[in-house]
Amino acid sequence: MENLIKPELLSPAGNLLKLKYALAYGADAVYAGVPKFSLRTRENDFDEKTLQQGIQYTHELGKKLYLTLNIFAHNTKINSFLKELEKVVQWKPDGLIMADPGLVNIALKRYPEIPIHLSTQANVTNWTTVQFWRDLGVKRIILSRELSIKEIREIHEQVPDVELECFVHGAICIAYSGRCLITNYMNHRDANQGTCTNSCRWQYSVEEDPKSMRAQEESQKSAFTSENPIPNNLIVREEHRPEEKFSLQEDSYGTYMFNSKDLCAVELLKELRDSGVISFKIEGRTKSEYYAAMVTRPYRKAIDNMTAGKPFDATNLEDLQALSNRGYTTGFYTRNPREFGENYHDSRSLERTHKAVGMECTYDEQNKYLEFEAKNRITIGSEVEIVTPLKTEKFIIHELFDMKHNSVDVGHGGAGRYGFHYPSNPGNFAVIRRKLYPQETHH
């Protein structure tokens, strides 16, 4: 049965500036982490003051903000978590994203007026689990990324009175939606406590382990047959820690590392909506304000077009290809991705067509002068795109000025503010981007 509600677009907010860009480019709601108790503690620029400012700013726009407190707590964190919970509910967020069953249970009992959204970390993969959480009092389920559209539809049909949210864009963990142990093993940090180091993205080299050669020769004499392949004992080294060695076994079936392509479901929004999803979530709180804007815009357009009954606009894909990505996959929504879901060649986010040049724009109406914070190199003669929530205009840089209004030939990323004359005010949240120079392309 079709869900006729216009789905919510939920964008990431890693700090106050990213929050503002996401909302400016069309997000209906944003999610932000409480620093000590969400799974992005390493790169969370929010503090108590700015979170409260973010909630106020969001509500003034008539939009929503959900706070993320989705760690799986050890005993040592329970008391401090409950104190933090008592504090944040007074800020009146529109929901709390949580995962730990015990903490969810306490939050529901103590603060029944605050909606609880069950984090994808809780790994909901079937309708009986949805029923369980509904009966406990949870309002929304953020589904595991491992589900197909068919499975989502069945969940909605079985439990139609629970809101369903799903991820439509961003990085995918090689784990059940983020329950990762690789970081813990490789770097002694616990991703489930908020300190993921993205170990699955690191570059590794593999070599034979000379100490194991004799043991391997002995094992070949007796233990292994064609049905039981002979393992090759290897050593894995990580490029930044060559002195550390990790053992690895490779047999005739091969050795597999863990680098997923990024999720992109912009072409599947109608199918997901019709399956009962009411909120489309974009991953990426640790990414830039440029990302927050440029990924929100095409999903905003896609949702609006879908709701109006218009066909899919291919320019939405072009905008997403302009962003850094590891290659795109639709994940498990339409099939098991298998080899189509892995990037075996490079773990860096360098598959893109454009690069951000300027953010945080200001405009001098009297002098028709556009100033911006430089993010990457720009030169005289460059063709840039001035991107706003509603349009994209091309413009050739014939002149460029530094902060002291001296004429310069080159503007450098991170070197402060630059500017040029521009005929009209594109707005404070305009984004200036350019195509990659030939030497910047990566294949």
The CATH 2.40.30.10 portion of the chain extends over: 354-440
The pLDDT confidence band at residue 231, using thresholds 50, 70 and 90, is low
Three-class DSSP labels, 209-263: CHHHHHHHHHHHHHCCCCCCCCCEEEEEEECCEEEEEEEEEEECCECCCCCECEE
The pLDDT confidence band at residue 248, using thresholds 50, 70 and 90, is low
Cα gap 294→392, rounded to integer Å: 11
Residue-averaged pLDDT of the chain:
86
- Per-residue pLDDT at 338: 53
Higher pLDDT among residues 244 and 264, named by residue: 264
User: Does position 201 have pLDDT exceeding 70, yes or no?
Assistant: yes
- Per-residue pLDDT at 427: 94
Cα gap 76→238, rounded to integer Å: 32
Q: Which of 14, 25, 17 is nearest to 63 (CA)?
A: 25
Higher pLDDT among residues 5 and 359, named by residue: 359
Range 393-412 average pLDDT: 95
Q: Which of 283, 311, 277 is nearest to 7 (CA)?
A: 277
Range 11-36 average pLDDT: 95
Cα gap 313→87, rounded to integer Å: 44
Tell me the residue length of the chain.
Answer: 443
Helix (H) or strand (E) holding 370: strand 369-374
Cα gap 342→322, rounded to integer Å: 20
Helix (H) or strand (E) holding 264: strand 262-264
Has this prediction a pTM greater than 0.75? yes
Range 372-379 average pLDDT: 95
Asked: is 354-440 a CATH 3.40.1160.10 domain? The reply is: no
The pLDDT confidence band at residue 425, using thresholds 50, 70 and 90, is very high
- Per-residue pLDDT at 43: 57
The CATH 3.20.20.380 portion of the chain extends over: 8-172+260-341
- Per-residue pLDDT at 352: 82
Range 272-294 average pLDDT: 95
Asked: is 8-172+260-341 a CATH 3.30.1490.20 domain? The reply is: no
User: Does position 424 have pLDDT exceeding 80, yes or no?
Assistant: yes
When mean pLDDT is compared across 3-17, 154-168, 220-234, the lowest value belongs to: 220-234
